[in-house]
Amino acid sequence: MQTKFVEYSIFIMFFTGILQWDILTIPWFYFSLIQAIHIVSSLIVTVLLIIPFVNIHTYKYRKNIVAKKRNSTNGMFLGITLLLITASGFYLFIIGNRGGDDIGVYSFNTHLYGSFALLFFL
């Protein structure tokens, strides 16, 4: 049951993120509703499910690093990508992309293209 919830939540996060692109012209009311769903679902899934899973997974495999070395390059790439997506998402949530702000632009692009990379490599 928990796995299905995570899968549906990740789909909702990705789909609502795509709907917020500037290339789509969505009325403000629907845009703000989609943005609220994206933020709330992302916070819940990230804080309650993904971060604890990554911590437990990392601890389990770092403990056995001498015995077996698995796809650590893949795992490190996914972990760093997840960290960048999470950090840029929190930045966009708290400060936002104010337009013309270099950090906001980098954060937006990291969040957008990082989510594509993460979803592709998962």
pTM of this prediction?
A: 0.75
Confidence of residue 11 (pLDDT cuts 50, 70, 90): confident
Cα separation, 109 vs 15, whole angstroms: 17
Give CA separation, 63 vs 54, 56, 59, 66, 76, in Å: 14, 11, 6, 8, 15
Among candidates 112, 94, 113, 96, which has minimal Cα distance to 104? 96
**Domain segments of the chain: what residues?**
1-49, 71-122
Contact 14, 115 (CB under 8 A): yes
Contact 110, 85 (CB under 8 A): yes
Confidence of residue 71 (pLDDT cuts 50, 70, 90): low
Reported as a single tens digit per residue, the pLDDT across 43-69 is 888 888 888 877 887 787 777 655 556
